[in-house]
Amino acid sequence: MAQQKKMVDAITSMDEDFAKWYTDVCKKAELIEYTSVKGCMVIRPYGYAIWENIQRILDGMFKETGHENVCMPMFIPESLLQKEKDHVEGFAPECAWVTYGGSEKLEERLCVRPTSETLFCEHFKNVVHSHRDLPKLYNQWVSVVRWEKTTRPFLRSREFLWQEGHTLHATAEEAIEETERMLGVYTKFCQESLAIPVVQGQKTESDKFAGAERTYCIEALMHDGKALQAGTSHYFGDGFARAFEIQYLNKENQLTYPHQTSWGMTTRLIGAIIMTHGDDNGLVLPPAVAPIQAIVVPIAQHKEGVLDKANELKERLAKVCRAKIDDSDNSPGWKFAEYEMKGVPVRVEIGPKDIENNQCVLVTRHNREKTFVSLDNIEEEIIRKLEEVKEGIYQNALENRERRTYIAQNLDDITRQLEENGDGFVKAMWCGNEECEDKVKEITGVGSRCIPFEQEQLSDKCVCCGKPAKHMLYWGKAY
Amino acid sequence: MAQQKKMVDAITSMDEDFAKWYTDVCKKAELIEYTSVKGCMVIRPYGYAIWENIQRILDGMFKETGHENVCMPMFIPESLLQKEKDHVEGFAPECAWVTYGGSEKLEERLCVRPTSETLFCEHFKNVVHSHRDLPKLYNQWVSVVRWEKTTRPFLRSREFLWQEGHTLHATAEEAIEETERMLGVYTKFCQESLAIPVVQGQKTESDKFAGAERTYCIEALMHDGKALQAGTSHYFGDGFARAFEIQYLNKENQLTYPHQTSWGMTTRLIGAIIMTHGDDNGLVLPPAVAPIQAIVVPIAQHKEGVLDKANELKERLAKVCRAKIDDSDNSPGWKFAEYEMKGVPVRVEIGPKDIENNQCVLVTRHNREKTFVSLDNIEEEIIRKLEEVKEGIYQNALENRERRTYIAQNLDDITRQLEENGDGFVKAMWCGNEECEDKVKEITGVGSRCIPFEQEQLSDKCVCCGKPAKHMLYWGKAY
């Protein structure tokens, strides 16, 4: 049967229209589909399988660092949300409100959680009484809702999937250590599993999470030179504990306020993967989270012995990685395009000639490099190849970031470099004043991304006002 | 430090007050905690770990049978919910309605999904066009909301966690086969992983899912003689496809309506575990889903060498099962009570005398049987013991069900046996008339549970009206 399921339609090129390229990839790689629920999407099997891999790896890292999963209600009574002043101010404007249960109007309206600090606080108050009950190291995998005006798949949707860690500690030191530890976990995950290089830093005062004392973040640079916040980790001090009257008896038998953290990563990461590694042929997936790591494509599969050998090869590969075979009646050319669109890291071709020579062909998605390898130790070859892909796409991303990271001494410097070389990170000194932060954004279009942990003394003057500088900042246009 | 974290307080006895015993276990075993969100609960780490084990096993079974996970939005626009008439009638009365996004009133209100047939149908319409796109075998792990009046942890709460499978097939035969296959998966899971015997059957017309042509179910009998529906699998025919205008081109190039199924299991299963296996000392967990399968309790741990040996033992056990050690300074007696409350299947005691004799003591939770076993092959011993526990609690549950399954020829028969022997399943013939179904419930208090697949010809007359019988039914009081 020669009828083909569908041809892979070409997608918009990245350089022509990056935003259109992005949504094309989301659709054509079958990651998502739109729905009649405005601002919400269906995550399709291929997209969800990426998320399942992200979950599995991150969840393992959380459990290794002593965290336990729980599940809080999805609703927050309005009065509970209001207990911490900064927090409610930050979130109330984007809450979805449930006002009816069946045909009855609720006495108190409930918001669909935009985040769950308030629910965790209520719970902590119920279960924490003594220093022996601390620390509490909790996490949950749920979806949250924020009523955004403009939405884009994965990057900004009214509902999104995430994990939210919430921990409670006896001392500020312990809580800060936890905040930093989880930022470290996020960094490791992004760099090693997603092959996305990130900058670790701290948000400025104006950019902190609503209710936090400090917000740490990791920032990645996308292919188009825009910045994406890939994960955040917040230190709350004892602010929430005071607002919710959470106290414990310390070893000296005194009532004490504990210190708190929260940290989260979301389905945004899938957007980050697309925009960091993707190209004009579609998705390029980091092997660690790719639903299919190796796709076997038989060549001249109608010839005797080819399908048998290809299936045998697939079975061998499946023992060491996530391997699949496409033995459908679509043409090899169609299959090549299909699995390139889907970002499968390695394509494995095997035809009559290869079989004769006891070999197969490995083609790596990101650079289309072909290698002929012996079938004898194909298991080791594929593992090595997947490692090579990871290294390769990480290096590409790093080079892109470095090429697009500019140093600026004044506002003109910023504008000129962005104009000449395109969007990117700008490293520049800052006096610590919010007015300068705002002014830089107003004049040059780039906002502060973070105060990086790795500080450099680029000069001693603020890029904006010229007064003594306090920090070096990363600036950029943000997703 | 002799101070103990807390004493395990006694719980209400089952015979005294089963409902109170149930909630006591939920709280004391630290499965749940109440919240200020009426009818919703916190699932605590120990309870959630049970759910994670349930998920892992079931998800594996779904994937083995070819299903893929997806994620639909949590909201359903009112107009979408209304597309299938029976469905909306069934669910609208218990929907939670979102009417505001931020400070803006929504043009159309959204319900928080009570179930997702309508969303899946909308998606199927978008992605299914040809016979080559079928079957679609989808599942999602999410929470749903139903605005119940009276709630109980796990059994009936306003929000609960579940999986919902939704599949679309070219023919009715294939869809019916899928409906039955998934009921088979549920049955296998309940009996083999949860050690809960179930009756497979079909719901009567009046008891079908809103919009279904047929609803299959599995019914379990709890310790108190009440019935619990543990899982359902629905065959929809092409009713939803017609309502949502889902059509595909068949091989003859004709537009055709596909046939659909859905099937679900929920956190109710945790309620079923508690009420099937639990006793007056608390929870009794089936090994397959127990967060801790073996708890090592060192005896006289202050004596030299005991803690080292106990830790070494734990390490060996952890290689073959989920093992933990409690080397806290609580007394062995406190630890025994604590892990009995938490239903840990096997307790492993090791003290100075045991070490001398190169042995340890295995105590099985469900019958408190003690076995002295050599340390030489403790790995095999623990595996055998866990298998023994599973068999043991399954047999206990089966015996309880058999002891409490009555055969009735008329309404007096039903009433008398329930009075004499307590609640239970009643097997009785039925004419197929809904009026008789209602009358049996009104007079005897037991409703129809299902038409079991395994029919018996108890007589040829309906238990209620005496007219010719069509089916044997299971009747019971339901959770």
Inter-chain touch B71–A43, beta carbons under 8 Å: yes
| Beta carbons of B73 and A122 less than 8 Å apart | no
Report how many Cβ contacts below 8 Å link chain A to chain B.
Answer: 160
Q: What is the pLDDT of residue A2?
A: 37
- Name chain B contacts of A88, Cβ cutoff 8 Å: none
- Residues of A with CB below 8 A from B123's CB? 33, 35, 42
Angle B449-B452-B458 from CA coordinates, rounded to 5°: 100
What global pTM score does this model have?
A: 0.96
- Whether B69 sits inside 8 A of A145 (CB atoms) is no
Give the model confidence (pLDDT) of A52-85 as tens digits.
999 999 999 999 999 999 999 999 999 999 998 8
Determine contact, residues B267/B189, Cβ cutoff 8 Å. Answer: no
- Does the beta-carbon distance from B48 to A40 stay under 8 Å? no
Q: pLDDT tens digit string along A359-380? A: 999 999 999 999 999 999 999 9
Query: What value does the mean pLDDT of chain A take?
Result: 96
- Dist CA B32 CA B43 (whole Å): 5
For testing contact with chain A, the best of B1, B30, B48 (most A CBs within 10 A): B48
Instruction: Give pLDDT, residue A379.
Output: 98
Q: Which residues of A touch B77 (CB under 8 A)?
A: 36-37
Confidence of residue A10 (pLDDT cuts 50, 70, 90): confident
* CB contacts, 8 Å: B102 with chain A: 92-95, 147
Residues contacting B322, CB < 8 A, separation 6+: B290, B291, B292, B293, B294
Contact A257, A192 (CB under 8 A): no
Distance from CA of A461 to the nearest CA of B (A): 42
Cβ pair B99:A95 closer than 8 A: no
Give B124 to chain A, closest Cα distance, Å: 10
Residue B71: closest CA among chain A residues belongs to which residue? A43
Write the Ramachandran bin of A237: left for phi over 0, alpha for psi from -120 to 50, otherwise beta: left
pLDDT digits (tens, 9 = 90+) for A208-219: 998 999 999 999
**Which phi and psi angles does B114 have, rounded to 5°?**
-90, -20
Asked if A42 lies within 8 A of B70 by C-beta distance, the reply is yes
Interface mutation target, options A50, A71, A103, A125, chain B, most CBs of B under 10 Å: A71
Q: Which among B69, B94, B122 is the nearest to A35, CB-wise? A: B122
Q: Which residue of B has its CA nearest to A138?
A: B45
A409-430 exposure pattern, b = at least 16 Cβ within 10 A, e = fewer: eeeebbbebbeeeebbbbbbbb
How far is A251 from chain B, CA to nearest CA, in Å?
Answer: 11
Q: Which of A70, A119, A127, A140 to mutate to test the interface with B (most CBs of B within 10 A)?
A: A70
Does the distance separating the beta carbons of B45 and A138 come in below 8 Å?
yes
Chain A residues whose beta carbon lies within 8 Å of the beta carbon of residue B40: 73-75
Q: Read off the pLDDT of each residue in A332-346 and give the average, rounded to a whole number.
A: 97
Indicate which of A42, A138, A154 best probes the interface with B, i.e. most B CBs within 10 Å of its own CB.
Answer: A42
Task: Determine whether the interchain pair A112/B110 forms a contact, defined as Cβ–Cβ distance below 8 Å.
Answer: no
Q: What is the predicted ipTM?
A: 0.96
Per-residue pLDDT of A175-200, as tens digits, reads 999 999 999 999 999 999 999 999 99
Q: What is the pLDDT of residue A87?
A: 87
Smallest Cβ distance to A37: which of B68, B73, B100? B73
Proportion of chain A above pLDDT 90, given as a percent: 96
Question: Burial, B77: exposed, middle or buried (Cβ in 10 Å; 0-12, 13-18, 19+)?
Answer: buried
Per-residue confidence at A8, pLDDT binned at 50, 70, 90? low
Tell whether the model's pLDDT for residue A7 goes beyond 60: no
Report how far residue B126's alpha carbon sits from residue B140's, in angstroms, rounded to the nearest whole number: 18
Neighbouring-strand partners of residue B468: B461
pLDDT computed for residue B8 by the predictor: 56
> Which chain B residues have a beta carbon less than 8 Å from that of A142?
143
CA dihedral B188, B193, B195, B200 (to 10 degrees): -20
CA A329 to chain CA centroid, nearest Å: 36
CB nearest A96 (choices: B42, B95, B101): B101
What is the CB neighbour count within 10 angstroms for residue B15? 9
Mean pLDDT across the stretch A133-153? 97
Q: What percent of chain A has pLDDT over 70?
A: 98
Amino acid (1-letter code) at residue A369: E
Residue to substitute from B63, B97, B105, B252, interface A, most A β-carbons within 10 A: B97
In contact, A400 and A223? CB cutoff 8 Å? yes
Find the residue in B nearest to A123 (Cα).
B35
Whole-number pLDDT of residue B10: 81
- Region of poorest pLDDT, from A248-257, A397-406, B84-93, B110-119: B84-93
Kindly give the pairing relationship between strand A370-374 and strand A359-364.
Answer: antiparallel
Query: What are the chain B neighbours of A119 within 8 Å (beta carbons)?
Result: 35, 37, 42
Nearest-Cα residue of chain B relative to residue A136 = B45
Please give the structure tokens belonging to residue A80: 């509970």
CB contact under 8 Å between B73 and A41, yes or no, is: yes
pLDDT in tens, chain B (479 residues): 334 444 556 899 999 999 999 999 999 999 999 999 999 999 999 999 999 999 999 999 999 999 999 999 999 999 999 998 888 998 989 999 999 999 999 999 999 999 999 999 999 999 999 999 999 999 999 999 999 999 999 999 999 999 999 999 999 999 999 999 999 999 999 999 999 999 999 999 999 998 999 999 999 999 999 999 999 999 999 999 999 999 999 999 999 999 999 999 999 999 999 999 999 999 999 999 999 999 999 999 999 999 999 999 999 999 999 999 999 999 999 999 999 999 999 999 999 999 999 999 999 999 999 999 999 999 999 999 999 999 999 999 999 999 999 999 999 999 999 999 999 999 999 999 999 999 999 999 999 999 999 999 999 999 999 999 999 999 999 99
B267 to chain A: closest CA residue? A71
Question: Are B478 and B227 spatial neighbours (Cβ–Cβ below 8 Å)?
Answer: yes
Of B76, B97, B126, the CB nearest to A100: B97
Q: What mean pLDDT do residues A333-339 have?
A: 97
